[in-house]
Amino acid sequence: MGMQGFLDIFDIYLLEAVINGILLGGVLALLALGLNLIFGVIDVTWICYAELVMIGMYAMYFIVQVYGLSYFVAAPFTILLVAVLGAALHYLVIAPLLTAPPINQLLATGGVLFVLQSFATVAFGIDFRNLGIRLPVLAFGDMNFSYARLLSFLAALVGMVAVYLFMTRTFTGTAIRAISQDRQIMALMGVDTRRIYLITSALGGALAGLAACLLVLQYDVHPFVGLSFGPITFLICVLGGLGNFIGGFIAAFVFAEIISLGGLFSDLEWGYVLAFAFFIVMMFIRPAGLLARRR
Amino acid sequence: MLELRAVNAGYGTFQALFDVSLDVKAGEAVGVIGPNGAGKTTLMRVISGLIRPSRGSIRMEGIDVVATPSHKIVSLGIAHVPENRRLFPQLTVDDNLKMGAFMKEARGHLAERLEVVFDLFPRLKERRHQMAGTMSGGEQQMCAIGRALMSNPKLLLLDEPSAGLAPVVVQQVFELVKRIRASGLTVLIVEQNVQQVLKVVDRAYLIEAGSIRASGTSAEMLASDTVKEAYLGV
């Protein structure tokens, strides 16, 4: 094999990894958007965000595998369920602590993380479960792409566009954007801030639910599955600047590419190591995030 | 239209208003003058529900304002242009105005209210897609008043509309207040710029250390020795 042949193969792999990185970035951006929304609007961090996704994945599993309904029936139901969970989390845990010190809010949502993990362990056991849906692999020239990833990417994109339209076109969406800029005068606009917080929490839950529908296509669900994408979601949000939607979107793709390209040159685990190392370095260079603007 | 009786209010243990009673009749323009820290802004905030009185009653067209949740007070027809304008700096002018029409009763009339506001402030129409925080002080004041007018209020509360503006712009703001008055709106205006505000209002109250010290028509206030000595530098 000559030098030219080696380069051809290398480029194909590189291109495949780049595209896979973009596909991964879509789902990570969706996860980051939900968390950023909650932080940007309510000024609270849902430590248990990935555990809401885990509950959603179980919901998908039970509806599809145990009750035998179609994936497309299960998905809207799961999104609704996790939206209700998000609203309940706000109503029961966050709302009473809104004026409490931030550390109390962190501890409380951290406590919910353990409650949800333990609940899942007791209720569902520690077995790895999956939908039993095996989507085909798409061959494109010499490159292979998982159909599940492609589908997830597109659905994540549709979800994010829907949120964008909601935030820019509706009165409620405009109020959600306004509230973080001046909380005190919202009442002068006739806005009930408690209601906006509840709607935002439901929306954040719905995004976690959508992410659950997409992740369950690619990964098995178990009580601790949140640990495999929760931390990376937090890193993305912090790198993008907590509460900064555009920064989070960009950071999601930066991380996804590092993971995907890092995995190309070595194992996938090394991709994660690279991503975390990159994060640490960036925190020294730009501690307030890629697009530092707020505060 | 608006009736305050023996209103007491404050922040925590600090009391800012002592037994304040005040009336605004429909179609009137009423001024509240007084030194810094006299409780003028607190008075406005207690009317629009941003803080609640510890004692006393507030009625708007007979309806108990104190018993109304603060986000429902704008629906009674009270629009408050707060001190320092308090626009949403990272929203466009359009979105700021849209927030002014947030309440259910106003949403359906968004287009016609926009027309009214743009008619009053043609400058805002030119800037409608600009971030509110990037405009000049005078333009921001227009936007803040425009936002309040979006709810089609009966009573407009203006808190220091001339603060922090260049003298030429201050003139324009008071011209605007006159035009708003002429359109039939009732206005309650708080100002430190006593000379200017007394030219615009029918009556005025003098507030000092949280209590009403004097009240009367503009002419009476201009002639009053207390007002003259303390605020007009005569």
Burial-class residue B83 by CB neighbours within 10 Å (0-12, 13-18, 19+): middle
Structural domain includes residue B17: yes
DSSP A186: G
pLDDT at A295: 42
Over 90: is that where the pLDDT of A16 sits? Answer: no
Token look-up 């607190």 returns B42
- Token duo for residue A89: 């989390």
Task: Spell out the residues 6+ positions from residue A141 whose beta carbon is closer than 8 angstroms to its own.
Answer: A12
Q: What CATH number does the domain containing B224 carry?
A: 3.40.50.300
Structural domain includes residue A143: yes
The mean pLDDT value of chain B amounts to: 91
Q: Sorting pLDDT into bands at 50, 70 and 90, what band is A33? A: very high
Structural domain includes residue B172: no
Structural domain includes residue B167: no
pLDDT at A292: 63
**By the CB < 8 Å criterion, does B108 face chain A?**
no
DSSP A191: -
Contact check, Cβ <8 Å, A185/B86? yes
Structural domain includes residue A292: no
How many folded domains does chain A comprise? Answer: 1
Write out chain B residues lying below 8 Å of A177, CB-based. 88, 90-91, 95
Q: Sorting pLDDT into bands at 50, 70 and 90, what band is B14? A: very high
Structural domain includes residue B206: yes
Contact check, Cβ <8 Å, A190/B107? no
Long-range pairs for A253-259: beta carbons < 8 A, 24 or more residues apart: A253/A21, A253/A22, A253/A25, A253/A28, A253/A29, A254/A278, A254/A290, A255/A25, A255/A28, A255/A279, A256/A21, A256/A22, A256/A24, A256/A25, A256/A28, A257/A18, A257/A21, A257/A22, A257/A25, A258/A21, A259/A21, A259/A24
Q: Are B71 and A191 in contact (CB under 8 A)?
A: yes
Residue of A174, A181, A188 with shortest CB distance to B48: A188
Supply the range of the domain harboring residue B231: 1-77+154-160+187-234
Structural domain includes residue A291: no
pLDDT at A160: 94
Global ipTM: 0.89
Contact check, Cβ <8 Å, B99/A175? yes
Write out chain A residues lying below 8 Å of B153, CB-based. none
Structural domain includes residue A7: no
Which residues of chain A approach chain B closer than 8 Å at the C-beta? 171, 174-175, 177-178, 181-182, 184-193
Structural domain includes residue B212: yes
Closest C-alpha among B97, B127, B102, B99 to residue B114: B97
Which range has the worst mean pLDDT, A129-138, B87-96, B197-206?
A129-138
Write out chain A residues lying below 8 Å of B107, CB-based. 171
Supply the range of the domain harboring residue A254: 20-285
pLDDT at A159: 94
B136 CB-side CA count, 13 A: 8
Higher model confidence: residue B180 or residue A288? B180
Q: What CATH number does the domain containing A84 carry?
A: 1.10.3470
Structural domain includes residue B101: no
Over 60: is that where the pLDDT of B70 sits? Answer: yes
Write out chain B residues lying below 8 Å of A180, CB-based. none
pLDDT at B16: 92
DSSP string covering A79-136: HHHHHHHHHHHIIIIIGGGTTS-HHHHHHHHHHHHHHHHHHHHHHH-S--B-----PP
How many folded domains does chain B comprise? Answer: 1
